[in-house]
């Protein structure tokens, strides 16, 4: 490993609450990696599917507890379950400031917010895929009060399932995902709805550009609505930036969009001290922590 002094520590057990696409995939990936992992879901079918992937079904939560439930259920996800008072709690929710507000007060420095940037327009336990996290970015929140040791425990889990860890604050995360996730969902919805207004001829001529541009609005509308309404402020700001772009001369707009879309990226290993400000600077620069390169920044020709 280059430049990232990961302390030696015993790997903790993992308990996953919510065994749909994300939680079920995480539990299955950890079980496949030989890690002790238990899981719980209110749906017996999701529990049975997890057992088939080698996950122990249990309401006793210990080690690192992963909340993999929809955003509206996050605040009450632990109700009725037995949680080890020393457990570290993390989540997989797509917005981070509201989740931090909901859980941070009760859990204090035991809570580390997270968001793996994966998942598809499918959902539920039938969409479980142990390879879902391979190569994905996993944003992991470092607030002023975050316990760095607990942060590393969660980071180690993300690295174990093949993801790369991006250190962020909750607010930085929500601004970033507004631009690259919430707004794409709203544009897809507007594109589809406007094409519906244009009529059957337009829809019958729709080809690749329309299919790609609208794919994400095939997701469950409740999920998409929670994603945008749960991150309303940053999404409004990001949508305003898109509106301003659309007012520019088209040739300029197309040239700039093409340049961003096709910018070459590479990786450069960097040395980062295990310290909050340095880790956040890594994230802001487009960098991440990965199992292979330890820590790297994009936009450079790879040295490895």
Q: Of residues 194-253, which lie at the interface with a copy of itself (CB under 8 A)?
A: 194-210, 212-219, 221, 224-225, 228-229, 238-239, 241-246, 250-251, 253
For residue 138, what are the β-bridge partners?
116, 165
Name the minimum Å distance from CB 176 to a copy of itself.
4
Name the minimum Å distance from CB 182 to a copy of itself.
9
Name the minimum Å distance from CB 87 to a copy of itself.
27
Site for a copy of itself in 169-188 (CB under 8 A): 172-173, 175-177, 179-181, 183-188
Name the minimum Å distance from CB 244 to a copy of itself.
8
Residue from 5, 72, 108, 286 binding a copy of itself (CB under 8 A)? 286
Which residues have a Cβ under 8 Å from the Cβ of 227 and sit 6 or more positions away? 71, 94, 95, 181, 182, 185
Name the minimum Å distance from CB 201 to a copy of itself.
5
- Tell me the H-state helices in 199-301: 200-205, 208-214, 221-229, 232-246, 250-261, 276-284
Site for a copy of itself in 94-133 (CB under 8 A): 117-120
Position 283 contacts a copy of itself (CB under 8 A):
yes
Residue from 171, 191, 274, 278 binding a copy of itself (CB under 8 A)? 191
Q: What angle do CA 80, 84, 87 make, to 5 degrees?
A: 115
Position 301 contacts a copy of itself (CB under 8 A):
no
Q: For residues 59 and 265, what is the distance between their CA atoms, to the nearest angstrom? A: 44
Cα-trace Rg, the chain: 20
Nearest to a copy of itself of 215, 291 (CB atom): 215
Task: Sort strands 37-40 and 14-17 into parallel, antiparallel or unpaired.
Answer: parallel
Chain mean position to CA 14: 18
């Amino acid at each position: 490993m280059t430049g990232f002094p990961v302390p030696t520590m015993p790997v903790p057990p993992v308990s996953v609450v919510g065994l749909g696409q994300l939680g079920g995939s995480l539990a299955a990936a950890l079980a496949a990696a030989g890690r002790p992992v238990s899981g719980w879901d209110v749906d017996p079918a999701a529990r049975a599917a997890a057992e088939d992937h080698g996950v122990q079904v249990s309401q006793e939560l210990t080690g690192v507890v992963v909340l993999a439930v929809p955003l509206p259920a996050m605040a009450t996800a632990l109700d009725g379950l037995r949680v080890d008072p020393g457990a570290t709690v993390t989540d997989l929710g797509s917005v981070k400031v509201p989740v931090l507000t909901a859980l941070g007060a009760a859990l204090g420095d035991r809570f580390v917010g997270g968001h793996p940037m994966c998942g598809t327009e499918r959902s539920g336990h039938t969409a479980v895929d142990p390879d879902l996290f391979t190569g994905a970015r996993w944003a992991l929140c470092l607030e002023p009060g975050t316990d760095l040791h607990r942060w590393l425990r969660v980071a180690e889990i993300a690295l174990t399932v093949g993801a790369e860890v991006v250190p962020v604050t909750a607010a930085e995360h929500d601004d970033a995902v507004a631009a690259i996730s919430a707004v794409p969902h709203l544009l897809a919805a507007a594109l589809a709805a406007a094409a519906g207004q244009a009529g059957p001829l337009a829809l019958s001529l729709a080809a690749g550009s329309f299919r790609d541009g609208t794919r994400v609005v095939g997701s469950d509308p409740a999920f998409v609505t929670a994603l945008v309404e749960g991150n309303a402020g940053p999404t409004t700001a990001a949508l305003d930036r898109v509106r301003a772009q659309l007012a520019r001369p088209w040739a300029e707009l197309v040239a700039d969009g093409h340049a961003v879309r096709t910018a070459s990226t590479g990786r450069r290993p960097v040395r980062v001290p295990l310290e909050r400000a340095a880790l956040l600077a890594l994230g802001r620069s487009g960098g991440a922590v990965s199992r292979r390169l330890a820590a790297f920044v994009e936009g450079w020709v790879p040295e490895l």
